[in-house]
Amino acid sequence: MARLDAGTAARLARGGGRYLADLRVPGCLEAAFVRSPLPHARVGAARFHDGRGLTAADLGLHPLVATGPGLAGAPWIPLGGGRARYVGEPLAVVWAADRYQAEDLVDAAQLELEPLPPDEPLHSQAPTGVLFETTLEGGDVDAALRAADLVLEGRFHCARQTPFPLETRGVLAHPDPGTGVLTVWTSTQIPDLVRAGLARCLGLPEARLRVRVPQVGGGFGVKAHLFAEEVAVAALALRLGQPVRWIEDRQEHLAASAHAHDAVVRLRVGVTREGRILGVDADLTADVGAYSIWPFSASLEPMTAASSLFGAYAVGALRCRTRARSSARCPVGAQRGVGVTVGVHATERMVDRIARRLSIDPLELRRRNAVPACPWTSPIGRALDSGDYPRLLATLAAAAGYDALRAEQHRARAAGRLLGVGLALFNEHSGTGTQDYRRRGIDTIPGWDQSRVRVPADGRIEVATSAADAGQGHADTYRLLAAEVLGVAPERVEVVEGDTDRCPPGTGTFTSRGAVGVLESLVQALRAAAATDLAPGTDIVRRADAEQVYPSGAHLAVVEVDPVGWRPRVLRYVAVEDCGTIIHPEVVAGQVRGGVAMGIGNVLLEEHAYDADGQIQTATLLDYLVPLATDIPEVELHHLTSPSPRTTLGSKGVGEAGTIGAFGAVANAVADAVAPLGAELDTLPYSPQRIFAAVERARAGLPPARPGQ
Amino acid sequence: MICRLTVNGTPWEGDVPPRLTLADLLRDHLQLTGTHLGCEQGVCGACTVLCDGEAVRSCLMLAVQADGRSLTTVEGLDADPDAAALRDALVAGRGLQCGFCTPGFLLSALALRRADPPVDPARVPELLAGNICRCTGYGPIVAAVRAWLG
């Protein structure tokens, strides 16, 4: 395939991207939000300067309830509906001619807040605080553990983190009194789901709403939710009959967009003396914050994490009791890799622990337990479509020079250096379709995707999909693919995304569906179009409801820990990825490299913290640390290709794999580096403070710490 | 307050509120929206512009502090063949994905080029540690800037 069309990148590099904050609409008012200073409170009377402020009740906003198996049915309530449930929650909207004056109005606003006791339930529908609960089970776990030579236990905690796109959220709502249609520009990954949610919250038919997506400065999952600010700005624009916009600042983003993870996984794993893993008994609790977030619901993180445990290994029996608990904290939603990162961290740390206990090399232990061949169905029913796990390991070992690395580590340790080598073998599910969502208890997401190929009178070829590009570059990939399939010049093809008027409805862009369901619908539409003469008037729509596919990978990291400041540094990173057929090598490389960098940040640096009073401690970039150029090594990237039989082109998606692999490889490398000191690490991030504390405990002969229990 | 400055070689004069940031002056009054706001806390570097040749965070500087100064934003790089070469190298090397951080990286790199004594290309990662990119993993950016400096 030809090189990527550099037109978009060149325009962006000139500063010519039209992101949400760059849209100019005459007479547009600026909104700002009055946010809760308390974690849990009843909201009483509200007074605003000049009457320029409205609450949920004033705006008549309706809550949304995600329903499905295992869910308590607790609502998601825009602007709180008379209650504040976390610090930073938007409770009222104010407006002015510019942001400076709008913030003055926020300062002047007076909201009567009556603090509620910490044990007061956040939602009457969930008096015990459990928003979601289920058990995944397959095979006879108890028998497997009884048959084992030994049963090892572990407890692994993944920090509360956040996706952190460089562009914050933003929304601009523009009513047209002539047509009665409200156009809502928003920086989102899910235009159709935003429209559906807005319609329900505002009590409007969807036909009265048009959602448009401008250039988006990164999403990584956080922009795949409906937010209270979107609902409030839309309602305010309708109320005032004027365009209104809101641009989030970084403090708001860190405190009150959506967080991710904050999950504890407990494992009991039965193994034979030869290192064969017989059975896994797991228990997983995720703190999902104040709401069952819309549209993914409280089941997102715990279900994804639980189903990914030991996913790349041929384990005969697996049980995971899993639940989501609410807390007076920012709601938890999607972040690159979602719960798979949590599951892979626990799994891969445990596999290394087993290896150490049995004095078996970690690579060898993985060889003995890896899924031997695909297709393969796990005891909990994950039907791996494709993949070659033994070959992933062999390729990684050869590419990294594994034996030489271990020899080098041996010499480094003899010289007093803390050098660690960490491995990860993993898979993920991507392109999740309708049946998978229903089975996982999520009723609010369609799961299918659509594409449309249209030839207008001017002879251009318009390719419209239900996806929305957030900077991954898939739109450019689609243009090239369309040109190739249709046998036309790429310049003739226009890719349209992120406009509910011009694009066929679908699910949006997350779980790498841009390379699975959306791509499948596009291929079908393009092939149907190619069979015609592409005459003006041609208009073909195809819908795809993908079965889950399983990209896989094996990663290796080399980490050195400084024995004075305890700072871990990633010296080397080798990734072998199998995303099936590669549609565009440059996009795949960019996704893996960027994903690994995010994973390194997640494992070594990133953590949201709350104090005992429920106040967030990490609302600035001096407190919430994201990786810089100095933190990321070159990523040595190698490919294996086992095409999926479930998609026409055989692609499986690659948006998350880099991040997921790093949760295993980097974590294991840090742990391996300090293992000679007897230090045990199980709580992310593996920061200098945590490493130091673990080393101190080991020196004092104490058992590993149990923070967050 | 009356503020007189030169932006990308063109003089500008206007009455600005004392609390207006330089970034908002550029974006809202001069319509130069290539300067992006990523944090407004002076950390992410997306809003970096050159002020009398020196890289500054336009989110932390008030417009009135730029009175009498000469500013360069990403929109001014076409006039500088050397800067345009870096921009083209960044595009060719896939040194951007979503593009939101890119203007800031370009201006920070440009300040490095003008440093006296010249910077050591080996130190590029630490010299660019004042700019955050969440998409690329930095590798392609570092490679492009190194090659350009070298």
Model pLDDT for residues A215-251, shown as the tens digit of each residue: 999 999 999 999 999 999 999 999 999 999 999 999 9
Residues 6+ apart with CB under 8 A from A107: none
**With an 8 Å Cβ cutoff, is B98 touching chain A?**
yes
Question: Which residues from A are below 8 Å from B78, CB to CB?
Answer: 14
Does the domain at B77-149 match CATH 3.40.50.300? Answer given as: no
Q: Has residue B48 got a pLDDT over 60?
A: yes
CA angle at A400 for the pair A399 and A404, rounded to the nearest 5°: 120
Residue A164's closest chain B neighbor by CA?
B134
Residue B122 near chain A (CB below 8 Å): no
Predicted pLDDT of residue A150: 97
Are the beta carbons of A167 and B139 separated by less than 8 Å? no
According to DSSP, the β-strands at A418-427 and A90-96 are unpaired
Q: Which of A12, A164, A658 sits opposite B102 (nearest CB)?
A: A12
pLDDT higher than 60, residue B10: yes
Average pLDDT of span A348-363: 98
Q: Report B:22-81 residues touching A (Cβ under 8 A).
A: 24, 27-28, 31-41, 43-44, 46, 73-75, 77-78
Q: Which residues of A touch B72 (CB under 8 A)?
A: none
Backbone angles phi, psi at A132, to 5 degrees: -160, 140
Helix (H) or strand (E) holding A261: strand A260-271
Element (H, E) at A632: none
Using the beta-carbon criterion (under 8 Å), do B40 and A249 form an inter-chain contact? Answer: yes
Q: Which of A4, A15, A632 sits opposite B74 (nearest CB)?
A: A15
The closest alpha carbon to A363, from A509, A156, A576, A548, belongs to A576
Q: Is it the case that residue A412 has pLDDT exceeding 50?
A: yes
Of B33, B132, B139, the CB nearest to A628: B132
For residue B101, list chain A residues with Cβ-Cβ distance below 8 A.
Answer: 166
Q: Over 60: is that where the pLDDT of A5 sits?
A: no
Calpha distance A227→A242 (Å, rounded): 21
| Residue boundaries of the structural domains of chain B | 2-76, 77-149
Q: For residue B26, give the chain A residue with the closest CA.
A: A22
Residues carrying CATH 3.30.365.10, chain A: 260-431+549-699, 448-544
CB contact under 8 A, B134 and A622: no
Identify which of A53, A40, A30 has the alpha carbon closest to the alpha carbon of residue A110.
A53
Cβ of A166 within 8 Å of Cβ of B36? The answer is yes
Q: What is the mean pLDDT of residues A307-332?
A: 98
Check residue A512 and give its pLDDT. 86
| Chain Cα centroid distance, residue A271 | 32
**Mean pLDDT, range A432-446, rounded to an integer:** 84
Question: Which residues from chain A sit within 8 angstroms of residue B88, using beta carbons?
Answer: 10
- A371 close to A314: Cβ distance less than 8 angstroms: yes
Flag if B91 and A9 touch (Cβ within 8 Å): yes
Q: Does B134 touch chain A (CB under 8 A)?
A: yes
Distance, in angstroms, between B69 CA and closest chain A CA? 22
Cross-chain Cβ contact A10/B27 below 8 Å? no
Q: Which letter, b or e, does each residue of A303-320 get, where b requires 16 or more Cβ atoms within 10 Å of its Cβ?
A: bbbbbbbbbbbbbbbbbb
Per-residue pLDDT at A546: 86
Of A149, A16, A129, A28, the C-alpha closest to A72 is A129
For position A68, what pLDDT does the model report?
87
Does the structure show a pLDDT above 80 at A407?
A: yes
User: Is the Cβ pair B96, A220 closer than 8 Å?
Assistant: no
The mean per-residue pLDDT over the stretch A526-555 comes to: 96
Is A628 close to B136, i.e. CB distance below 8 A? no
- For A90, counting Cβ atoms within 10 Å of its Cβ (0-12 exposed, 13-18 middle, 19+ buried), the class is buried
Look at A629 and B91 and tell me if their CB atoms are within 8 Å: no
Domain A448-544 is of which CATH architecture?
2-Layer Sandwich (3.30)
State how far the Cα of B143 lies from the Cα of A148, in Å rounded to an integer: 51
Is the pLDDT reported for residue A311 higher than 50?
yes
Residue of B nearest to A162 (CA): B134
Question: How high does pLDDT run on average in chain A?
Answer: 95
What distance, in Å, lies between the first and last C-alpha atoms of chain B? 44
Chain A CB contacts of B39 below 8 Å: 250, 621
8 Å CB contact of B98 and A218: yes
Could you read off the pLDDT of A130-162 as tens digits, one per residue?
999 999 999 999 999 999 999 999 999 999 999
* Percent of the residues in chain A that have a pLDDT greater than 90, as a whole number: 92
Nearest CA in chain B to A473: B97
Contact across the interface for A14 and B74, Cβ inside 8 Å: yes
Count of beta carbons in the 10 Å neighbourhood of residue A630: 15
CA distance B33 to chain A (A): 6
Return the CATH architecture of domain B2-76.
Answer: Roll (3.10)
Beta carbons of A493 and A483 less than 8 angstroms apart: yes
Contact pairs from chain A to chain B, CB under 8 Å: 163
pLDDT of residue A706: 59
Beta carbons of A629 and B126 less than 8 Å apart? yes
Is the ipTM above a cut-off of 0.95? yes
Q: Out of A3-17, A106-120, A375-389, A408-422, pick the least confident.
A: A3-17
Are A13 and B32 in contact (CB < 8 Å)?
A: no
pLDDT at residue A439 is higher than 90: no
User: Is CATH 1.10.1040.10 correct for A260-431+549-699?
Assistant: no
- Write down the residue that tokens 């409801």 correspond to: A545
Distance from CA of A215 to the nearest CA of B (A): 8
Mean pLDDT for A583-593 is 93
**CB contact (8 A) between residue B134 and residue A24:** no
CB contact under 8 A, B139 and A593: yes
The answer to whether the beta carbons of residues A557 and A419 sit under 8 Å apart is no
Nearest neighbour of A166 by CB, restricted to B41, B98, B140 = B98
Nearest chain A CA: its distance from B146 CA (Å)? 13
Token pair of A188 as six digits: 């989102």
Q: In what order do the strands lie in the sheet with A493-496?
A: A493-496, A461-465, A449-454, A539-544
Bond into A175 cis (ω within 30)? no
Q: Which residues of A touch B38 (CB under 8 A)?
A: 166-168, 250
Measured between alpha carbons, how far is B116 from A150 in angstroms, rounded to an integer? 65
User: Was domain A10-123+169-247 assigned CATH 3.90.1170.50?
Assistant: yes
Tell whether B114 is within 8 A of chain A (Cβ): no
B84 and A CB contact within 8 Å? no
Q: Mean pLDDT across the stretch B108-126?
A: 94
Q: Smallest Cβ distance to B100: which of A218, A630, A634?
A: A218
Closest-CA residue to A651 (of A548, A582, A565, A698)? A582
Q: Which of B37, B88, B142 sits opposite A629 (nearest CB)?
A: B142
- The ranges of chain A annotated as CATH 3.90.1170.50 are 10-123+169-247
Give the per-residue pLDDT at A3: 45
Q: Which of B75, B131, B135 sits opposite A471 (nearest CB)?
A: B135
Domain pair B2-76 / B77-149, same fold = no
Residue-wise pLDDT for A615-638, tens only, equals 999 999 999 999 999 999 999 999
